[in-house]
Structure 1
């Protein structure tokens, strides 16, 4: 799970196709979700499958780019814990360390200014709450350590809602967690479910949630009498894209935000379908707070205010992620199920 900045969670899975086991470095840094649920898939929620939306022509990655400003709502700010209101700032952990992962949280062209959809959401939430956003970049694992220790009041870093995480943290959702199927530009392929990958060569990262979804889809294909997809593994994203370009693979399944950024900046591929990071239920990404901190409710209300006035939509459109928009923010909705007991 979910750059997944966000991280694609690694999980033990049964591999059904030959290929060199590899780790997609960028996808491994994308942390939207925890371990997947049982192999036997329940009824699929239609919202767990999606369609691509029109993407921007380019991204403005300059440090001077104008950020979408939020509208202050004193009535929502009044519901914050007193200590937070008194401090006048919201301390936000962001997983943009080491240059980050575009378009989630990364470094602008000046090599120092944090930018990306997660950074914009952090400032938007703080604006609505009448607070100063104090965005501090760190590594993925330190996000959780920082929340636990009180160093960060919230983490906004493409963290996917999971039942396991909800035992320790509260969430206020602000995006869907999606994976995207990339194909070579001009491809006529459309992927909406298992039948669409039957007989195709599909590249995926070893041990990722994306792989778990494809394994589940292959089981569905085999039960329906269809040929399974051949899963192909490489060592890094460059190899995946070279394989797409040369026609050695038909599809590559990776995190939707990074796929979106690649499609726009490289211009050689297109997104031909999306699937929930928590398939077969809709995956949701949330602002992470310490459980019982009293922050999740006001933050969710702030996000809903931004949805209502259109500023939320502008933030997602700026980074080409309108396909991940939520109609409303929720506090602690159903998340990725825990693994089935063995």
Structure 2
């Protein structure tokens, strides 16, 4: 299924709570959905985003080349993953909490946001090549990534295990996934945690985890409903959104994206020593302090993932031991 049509497909799934907006709800002609915490979310193309205003002190931290360009080239995920980044009901307009936070940062720096939807690996290729100035794509700070990239944090990294509704399965750690077959996205921190759990199980004499990879979210959910997999381990916002909107699955457990060793944090990512990270952090601190950041998270039902301030290159997820 084309990523642009996935949101619509999930919305039409059995038990969907998508509603046509009317009265004082979402704008006429748009749609609304229950978000990660039951919040009503506008999924139409007319978003009426919460906008920022230019902060001269933050803007002064920008490299001259970016100031002169007048635009911020922002990479976002191409795979539809509501409420993080996905296509609106018109199947063309990019919306989500990532676009909203990125827009706030660009506004605060006096720049026009220019979004480029890319696959996970091409987001980093874009940074490496200089095609992108920033990536807003649910990127977790890790010690390994800090070698090549700079980070300014803007949200807690929370993960969740999604299971078929009525499974009764509860996951607290390694032993709860022994012998289970679980889907996960390649190259993610949840994959690292799942691999670590599998290794712990083998060392303890328990069965390892059967790890499966799917190219599309639609394939993952078809496998989950058919019983070919026991669960999907992914970002908590996306899991929560799907649980509430599709009505076919349940949350079997929530975890820090950094595991037990460190609280994982999501950050705007830029090429190391590009000269941009201080400006991003300053802009984020500004919108956190003036309350606009909080309004954006509340809009998408993600208030529980709010940060008190933005940090530059904080302790990240540790390296995986060889």
TM-score (norm 1): 0.70
Once residues 330 and 112 of structure 1 are traced to their aligned partners in structure 2, the CA distance between those partners, rounded to angstroms, is 33
Look up the match of 1:18.
Answer: none
Once residues 108 and 180 of structure 1 are traced to their aligned partners in structure 2, the CA distance between those partners, rounded to angstroms, is 24
| Residue from 241, 249, 253 that aligns with 2:233 | 253
Q: Deviations over 1:210-246 (max 9, x none)?
A: 4543454466678889x779757586312343157xx
Matched-pair contact (CA < 8 Å) for 2:39–2:301: no
Alpha-carbon distance, 1:123 to partner? 0.3
Q: CA RMSD in A?
A: 3.3
Name which of structure 1's ranges 304-313 and 121-130 shifts more when overlaid on structure 2: 304-313
- Paired residue secondary structure (1:339): coil
1:321-332 alignment, distance < 5 Å? 321-332=302-313
Look up the match of 2:222.
Answer: 239
Look up the match of 1:44.
Answer: none
Look up the match of 1:28.
Answer: none
- Paired residue secondary structure (2:151): strand
Q: Does 1:109 align with 2:85?
A: no
Look up the match of 1:277.
Answer: 257
Alpha-carbon distance, 1:89 to partner? 2.0
Name which of structure 1's ranges 294-303 and 146-155 shifts more when overlaid on structure 2: 146-155
Count of residue correspondences: 283
- Paired residue secondary structure (2:157): strand
Alpha-carbon distance, 1:201 to partner? 5.0
Relative contact order (C-alpha < 8 Å, sep 6+): which is higher? 1
Once residues 208 and 199 of structure 2 are traced to their aligned partners in structure 1, the CA distance between those partners, rounded to angstroms, is 10
Look up the match of 1:85.
Answer: 67
Once residues 74 and 234 of structure 1 are traced to their aligned partners in structure 2, the CA distance between those partners, rounded to angstroms, is 46
Look up the match of 1:205.
Answer: 184
For structure 2, the residue ranges without an aligned partner over 5 or more in a row are 4-34
Look up the match of 1:37.
Answer: none
Q: Does 1:317 align with 2:281?
A: no
Look up the match of 2:119.
Answer: 139
Matched-pair contact (CA < 8 Å) for 1:57–1:264: no
Matched-pair contact (CA < 8 Å) for 1:58–1:265: no
Q: Deviations over 1:51-100 (max 9, x none)?
A: xx96134432111121121243222212222332233221212222xx63
Once residues 304 and 257 of structure 1 are traced to their aligned partners in structure 2, the CA distance between those partners, rounded to angstroms, is 22
Distance 1:86 1:327, change over 3 A: same
For structure 1, the residue ranges without an aligned partner over 5 or more in a row are 6-52
Look up the match of 2:320.
Answer: 339
